[in-house]
Amino acid sequence: MRLQKYLADAGVASRRKCETFILDGRAKVNGKVITELGVKVEEGDSVEFDGKLVKLIDTKYYYMLNKPVGYITSVTDDRGRKTVLDLLPDNKHRVYPVGRLDYKTSGILLLTNDGDFAYKLTHPKHIITKTYIVKVEGILSDGAINELINGVQIYDYVTKPAKVAKINQTDNSTTLQIVISEGKNRQIRKMCNAVGADVLSLKRVAIGNITLNDLPIGKMRPLTADEIKHFQ
């Protein structure tokens, strides 16, 4: 199998993230630093990541985390910030986050050591909806909401149509539920900024049909068999 898939199946990170690690020279095969994609790992090969031997994991694990604000979605951080892995109990198996939630966003985040599962959730060819609750400053007009629904210009691309529902409004803020079918970096924040709305808070409450429900903030639980099957 290709090195990036081997690393993902060994629980290092998602396949796409492992590709970045390889290009950065953090992986070795049989003692040789690998800096290009496409290298295959054969049976009996020795594979290292960051100087440590890594092996394939037979048992796959799948978890849901209710991420708090103030944690980055990464395995490590060179700036010393807290990562979502700091929230895992010490006895949890080696898993990594699937996709991302930015530092100031809370809500549902999936973690696994199954590279194929992570690939299906993150590759653009697999359309997985994500549902967010976003609170913006001020009163958002119907025209602005229609723009969010139909697609807004963000730099060099236009967002795909979204489902948007107003769920609360006060004199000072508007709260929306937004469902998107793509996963651009910080997309909800950028969509809101594109219609002149400053985001006060943002929480992801569902990925596909898997919902956060009443999972406490900062806590995690295993996915059910039906939830895992939903993405397979």
Q: Which of 24, 58, 90, 102 does the annotation list as catalytic?
A: 102
Active-site annotation holds for 9: no
Rounded Cα distance between 29 and 37, Å, is: 12
Distance in angstroms between the alpha carbons of the first and the last residue of the chain: 20
Amino acid at residue number 219: K
Q: What is the CA radius of gyration of the chain?
A: 19
CB count within 10 Å of CB 107 equals: 23
- Measured at the CA of 76, the angle between CA 69 and CA 180, to 5 degrees, comes to 50
Q: DSSP secondary-structure letter at 187?
A: H
Q: How far apart (Å, rounded) are the C-alpha atoms in residues 123 and 50?
A: 25
Catalytic residues: 102
